[in-house]
A and B are shown apart, each in its own frame.
Chain A
Amino acid sequence: MLPRLLVSVAGIFVATVLAADVAYVTCQNGNVLSVIDLETGDQQRWPLPGQPAGIAVSGSGIFVVSPETKEVRRLDPRSGTELARVRLNGGPNGVTVDQMRQRVFVSDWYNARIWVLRAEDLSVIGELETGAAPAGLALSPDGRYLASADRDADQVSIFDAETFAFVARHAVGTRPFGLAFSQDGRLFVGNVGSDDMSVLEPLQGLLTTVAVGARPYAVTFAADRVFVSNQYEDSVSVLNLNTLETITKIDVGEYPEGLDVTPDGASVLVANWFDNTVSRIDVSALKVVAQWETGDGPRAFGAFILAD
């Protein structure tokens, strides 16, 4: 791997080596993006104003949401250079990228809608109506559906990601926040108010509800297992993807939030908001094998690991 020159958004030049996969961790209280090389553990901290939380990484850029200043940015994955920025009048919150159609979706926490942006320049090209307080957003693996967790409506909204047509809304548990589609197309939703996870089929609705830990926040998948961060329990629940039985709970740092899986499926990373750390969970051993310090208040709410 070649050393690459990183340029922070403040314009400070820093030489580093970015080999392999990289985690981009939004640190809300510290106003930085912790950029961690997952092979070497080397870390850069890019200044990122506006108390960033939501993130979605893709080959076309790192999309970050700063709710305090109501801004969405697209950053160059390697240099951190700001490639585009938009100010959205409302409460920009969760974000996801439609890589295929080069669109970005951003939820509006305060106005029950989703903005549709062009990935290239972040110009607004549409708005979708959701239930109250939409938080997490997810695209189905086939690119067909966009789902939002409408926290204060206790429901998810499903849209056609191509046409933006409304498809369905389905009741879930109490105060859904994070959600993700599994590879088989099911939708998994963490309900922070009822300490459980709703499992849905996007058209038919609720399939089942399973108990997880206290205040489940985000969901990801690896090796036929479901990983759920439990904010009030300092743990990650691990469930069998097929039987939905709990296999174990792994102790992580305090107030775990954003979860994502490495491209090889071997590790799951979780951001520990209170501790200012990221824990690396080995998917085979089901235990924490590494931990990195981050900036203050890591959220990493969204897809935050980019393949080399």
Chain B
Amino acid sequence: MKRRSILIATLVAAALPGLALAHGPTRQKVTLSTEVAAEPGEVWAVIGNFQDMSWHPAAFATTGKGGNEIDATRVITLGSADGPTISEVLYKFSDEKMSYSYRITEVEVDVLPVTNYSSHLTVKPREGGGALVEWRGAFYRGYPNNDPPEHLNDAASIAAVSGVYQAGLDALVERFGAPGS
């Protein structure tokens, strides 16, 4: 059923050239954060490399070029060697601020139901010791046209992005421990 509606959506988009670039009417945003026991520098050493997403449990492999320079690219393979991929480009990077910003350049909406996605990952000092990791995203829903099917609507896009962020942040707590614990 789900597969069929995706197919229909694809056919509709193909039948209406010119609409393919459009996006939903309302940009969505998600901000999730977590606190860990390790100091910010230690956390940044693990997550502050655009070319290495191995700290995220959903990432099977990361390949890319350009290091941490602006316009560097990466392709993240999800789950297994033959899993789906997400292509991304780096547009801001600061070791000093322990923050980087990237955009998705290519992903299938049945992998992540979003379009026009941009995101920031930041590590900050936590009051009382440890680090605060914040992950923020801005995006439109997966269905670019009016009256989206349920699995490609605004709520679905927020749920999917929140799921990705939460899984990554939970893995960091597991790795570095919760503060005060």
Name the contact of B145 in the complex, choosing from A93, A110, A112, A274 (C-beta under 8 A). A110
Contacts of A270 in B (CB 8 A): none
Question: How far is B27's CA from A68's CA once the two chains are assembled, in angstroms?
Answer: 11
Main secondary structure on chain B at its contact with chain A? loop
Name the contact of B25 in the complex, choosing from A93, A112, A274 (C-beta under 8 A). A93
Residue tally, chain A, CB below 8 Å to B = 24
Contacts of B25 in A (CB 8 A): 51, 53, 67-68, 91, 93, 109
Name the contact of A133 in the complex, choosing from B19, B29, B101, B136 (C-beta under 8 A). B19
Question: How far is B101's CA from A91's CA once the two chains are assembled, in angstroms?
Answer: 30
User: Is B115 an interface residue when CB atoms closer than 8 A count as contact?
Assistant: no
User: Is B45 an interface residue when CB atoms closer than 8 A count as contact?
Assistant: no
Name the contact of A51 in the complex, choosing from B19, B21, B26, B138 (C-beta under 8 A). B26
Proximity bits, B119-152, A CB within 8 Å = 1, else 0: 0000000000000000010100000011000000
Contacting B at CB under 8 A, from A139-186, are 151-153, 175
Question: How far is B20's CA from A151's CA once the two chains are assembled, in angstroms?
Answer: 12
Interchain CB contact under 8 A, A109 and B22: yes
User: Is B180 an interface residue when CB atoms closer than 8 A count as contact?
Assistant: no
CB contacts between A and B, total, < 8 Å: 55
Interchain CB contact under 8 A, A132 and B26: no
A192 to chain B, nearest CB (A): 10
B145 to chain A, nearest CB (A): 6
A139 to chain B, nearest CB (A): 23
Interchain CB contact under 8 A, A152 and B22: yes
Interchain CB contact under 8 A, A152 and B29: no
Interchain CB contact under 8 A, B27 and A273: yes
Contacts of A132 in B (CB 8 A): 18-19, 21-22
Interchain CB contact under 8 A, B26 and A152: no
Contacts of A29 in B (CB 8 A): 26, 28-29
Interchain CB contact under 8 A, A274 and B18: no
User: Is A188 an interface residue when CB atoms closer than 8 A count as contact?
Assistant: no
Name the contact of A255 in the complex, choosing from B19, B21, B28, B138 (C-beta under 8 A). B138
Interchain CB contact under 8 A, A28 and B27: yes
Contacting A at CB under 8 A, from B93-131, are 101, 103, 118
Residue among A68, A109, A175, A255 facing the most chain B CB atoms (10 A cut-off): A109
Q: Given A133-B22, A273-B138, 13 other A-B contacts at CB below 8 A?
A: A28-B26, A28-B27, A29-B29, A93-B25, A110-B22, A132-B21, A132-B22, A151-B22, A152-B19, A232-B101, A273-B27, A273-B29, A274-B136
Binding site for A on B (CB under 8 A): 18-22, 25-29, 91, 101, 103, 118, 136, 138, 145-146
8 A-B pairs whose Cβ atoms sit less than 8 Å apart in the complex = A91-B146, A112-B18, A132-B22, A151-B22, A152-B18, A152-B19, A273-B138, A274-B138
